[in-house]
Chains A and B, each alone.
Chain A
Amino acid sequence: MIRRGPSGLVAVALMLAVTLGARPQGYLKLGYRVDGKNVAMKWGRLPVRYFITDRGVPGVTSNQLQTAVGRAFDTWHGVSTAEVSSSFVGFTLANPFEDDNMSVIGFRDRPELDRVLGATTFLVDSVTAEILEADIFFNSAFPWSVASGGETNRYDLESVALHEIGHLYGLGHSAIGETEVRPTGGRRVVASEAVMFPIAFLPGNIEGRTLKSDDTAGISDLYPTTTFTRRTGSISGRVTKNGKGVYGAHLVAMNPATGALVGGFSLSEDGTFVIGGLDPGPHVVRAEPLDDADIESFFQDAKKVDIDFKVTFFDRLSIVPRGGATSQVEVPVKPK
């Protein structure tokens, strides 16, 4: 087991976890600031080498955990327009969420992380901008299942692993999803078109094992194959309100031919957005406020996000060229 104590740590440059504003694309990417520049949280060297905790929970053995996590990695690796890879090193007695230079995936009891099924942490070196490790934890306070068809009243481990591995590779959250609130209390997801949507599915559901267009666009942008940029295109423009840019508007591009939805955000003060990884052809573009969400789950600077405007469609189709960009898509929105 590789372990490094904290005594050898040296104080150096400031680094912040931020959602990248420097190169906005169709989904949020994780990033941090080094020397005044935003750096994408992505692995410089692949494959990602990870360990699995040698501990199960009721209903899931450590071997079953390793198998489910392996399937989830394989799902990401199966995206033909992205180049990502991982390598299972072995089982370990180490825990996730310990800063020990090992990327560890496993169960852990963290009672203070109530309502959190799983989470991903990074340890980053601010001098080299290198990811030293990324851990994924699954909250052992919840009931888990690895049954092929799901299991009533148990959360599907592979679905949650797929989401967390998306973070591990550097993807932030997607906002392509809707919820409802029940009179007895509690919210539930009623629709989602992205594995990276941050709100939990109901126990027993296994649909989160399948990546959607928004997920594949995101991973392909971070780790593109040589053909990705030639085959896909983008839509860019601005969201404005009373003539000024809107920060934090959620944009969705929908391909009427396929129904594929790819999301993005205006990530600049001037309301500029870019939605990448789109199939060539006509798209409908819609701007909407992130007023139903836990904004902090998407943006570090949540206070800056403007949620006071009405849903607005761009007034004509945007034609995405193969390997090119459609620009100047101006979406003027009105206050509520």
Chain B
Amino acid sequence: MSAATRRMTRILAVLAAAVAAVPAARATVLVPADLGDLVRGSQAIVHGRVVDVTAVWADGRRRIDSLVTLEVDQYLKGDFGERVTFRVPGGQIGRYRSVMVGAPSFAEGDEVVLFLGARGPSIPYVLGLSQGVFRVVEDPQTNARLVVPPPVVAGAEVQPVRRGDSARRPMPLDRFADEVRALAAGGTR
């Protein structure tokens, strides 16, 4: 091993140690959810395609929200009908654009799997702001339909969620649906 290679190896070891050793637990905003949390917390889990997005005044015309309508392909939990409309914060009316940092945005044609909550006779909403949104994309090489991001699924032990882990890749839609259905049926994963 050359001197330069040894030096580089030491530096990389320092970086890895520094990343691993930073103090625990800070940052803010979201209380994170794994896939099981999302399944348990949702009233309906739906796969479909966005067919309409309309910004509306809400809260006595004091706030702009967007109503998003989804044409349903399948429900993985619950059933809100062939089309479901849900609410997300923000939108544009006239010259004014209201933006909530971290909120999901949708466009007509988007194919998604959504984890929806609902409280009483109200318009459903996406769980955990954008944590309850999974996008369906097509692999350009295989044409397989994949779900992004890869879900975080609890195992038998504490598991670090490591970036670059070869297991953390977009999941085929069918497998994702099977995982969700198993959890909804009371599975332990």
Contact = CB atoms under 8 A, between A and B. Distances in A.
Interface of A: 5-6, 9-17, 30, 32, 41, 95, 97-100, 111-127, 132, 159-160, 162-164, 167, 172-173, 177-202, 205, 207-208, 250, 252, 254, 256, 259, 261, 284, 286, 288-297, 300, 302-303, 305, 307-311, 313, 315-317, 336
Contacts of B94: 9-12
B54 to A, nearest CB: 14
A11 B57 CA distance: 14
Given A192-B25, A201-B26, A307-B149, A297 B161 contact: no
Return the 3 tightest CB-CB contacts between A and B, nearest first: A197-B27, A311-B164, A163-B28
A200 B31 contact: yes
Contacts of B32: 115, 179, 186-189, 199-200
25 contacts: A9-B96, A11-B95, A99-B63, A114-B41, A117-B31, A119-B129, A120-B100, A180-B160, A189-B25, A198-B27, A198-B29, A198-B30, A198-B102, A201-B27, A202-B25, A254-B18, A254-B19, A259-B18, A284-B11, A289-B168, A300-B105, A302-B135, A303-B137, A308-B169, A317-B11
A10 B37 CA distance: 42
A124 to B, nearest CB: 5
A190 B19 CA distance: 10
B99 A17 contact: yes
Nearest to A295: B149
| Majority-rule SS of B interface residues | loop
Interface stretch (B45-53, B75-83, B150-158, B173-181): B150-158
B148 A6 contact: no
B172 interface: no
B25 A296 contact: no
Choose among A118, A132, A172, A201 the residue with the greatest number of B CB atoms under 10 Å from its CB: A201
Choose among B33, B102, B130 the residue with the greatest number of A CB atoms under 10 Å from its CB: B102
B11 A256 contact: yes
Contacts of B154: 181-186
Interface residues of B, number: 83
A111 B95 contact: no
A123 to B, nearest CB: 5
A180 B34 CA distance: 10
Interface in B130-189: 130-131, 133, 135, 137, 148-150, 152-166, 168-170
A5 B169 CA distance: 47
A193 B62 contact: no
A196 B101 CA distance: 12
B119 A30 contact: no
Contacts of B25: 188-190, 192, 201-202, 205, 207
Nearest to B133: A296
Interface string B81-104: 000000101101111111111111
Interface string B32-73: 111011001100000000000000010101111000000000
Given A164-B28, A192-B25, A192-B26, A187 B163 contact: no
Contact of A195 (B26, B150, B159): B26
Contacts of B148: 295, 302-303, 305, 307
A184 to B, nearest CB: 7
Contact of A6 (B21, B34, B57, B97): B57
B164 A309 contact: yes
Contact of A192 (B22, B89, B95, B101): B22
B31 A336 contact: no
A308 B95 contact: no
B30 A191 contact: no
B42 to A, nearest CB: 10
Nearest to A259: B18
Contact of A123 (B11, B21, B96, B163): B96
B22 A186 contact: no
A98 B130 contact: no
A145 to B, nearest CB: 14
A11 B155 CA distance: 51
A179 B163 CA distance: 10
Given A160-B28, A254-B15, A256-B14, A297 B127 contact: no
Nearest to A200: B31
Contact of B101 (A30, A187, A193, A295): A30
Contact of A190 (B62, B105, B152, B160): B160
Given A294-B130, A302-B149, 11 more contacts: A11-B94, A13-B95, A30-B101, A32-B97, A99-B62, A114-B41, A115-B31, A178-B162, A178-B163, A199-B29, A254-B18
